[in-house]
Amino acid sequence: MIAPLLFAVAIAGDWAGTSICTDLKAAPACHDEVVIYHITPKDKNFHVVADKIVDGKPEYMGEFDMTLEGSHLKHEMVNRRGERALWDFEVKGDRIEGTLKLLPGGEIIRKIEAKKK
């Protein structure tokens, strides 16, 4: 039972990196961003507050809860156009590699790479 607790402690904190658009045809309003994800444990899940860096300063983008599935943090959302999408972050030690996929087709519209600060 200690391993999940240690993993939760390892996930908690601030993660800085990039969120890069991969399919402008599927997501024409997408913009590449430098991001910071503030991740905290919440019940059996994790709460994420996302900021982008604009002119050297953090700008709030939003927040959501992610579930832990193995080494992946996942969150399904509905965007402004009413489309379903899935955030999927894989935690690899002090790095996160992730994607944002449109559902149900699975088109990847963002790739995320972040490192724990």
What is the pLDDT, as a whole number, of residue 80?
Answer: 80
Mean pLDDT across 37-57: 94
pLDDT digits (tens, 9 = 90+) for 5-36: 666 778 999 999 999 999 988 888 899 999 99
- The answer for residues whose C-beta is within 8 angstroms of residue 64's C-beta and 6 or more apart is 47, 48, 75, 77, 87
What is the pLDDT, as a whole number, of residue 6?
Answer: 63
Q: What is the CA radius of gyration of the chain?
A: 14
DSSP, collapsed to helix, strand or coil, labels residue 84 as strand
pTM of the model: 0.90
What is the pLDDT, as a whole number, of residue 7?
Answer: 66
pLDDT digits (tens, 9 = 90+) for 51-104: 999 999 999 999 999 999 999 999 999 988 899 999 999 999 999 999 999 999
Could you tell me the CATH superfamily of domain 2-116?
Quinohemoprotein amine dehydrogenase alpha subunit, domain 2 (2.40.128.120)
Q: Report which of residues 117 and 6 the model is more confident about.
A: 117
User: Nearest 5 degrees, angle CA 102-CA 108-CA 113?
Assistant: 120
Distance, in Å, from the CA atom of 18 to the CA atom of 16, rounded to the nearest integer, reads 7
- Domain segments of the chain as ranges: 2-116
Any idea what DSSP says for residue 9? H
What is the pLDDT, as a whole number, of residue 2?
Answer: 41
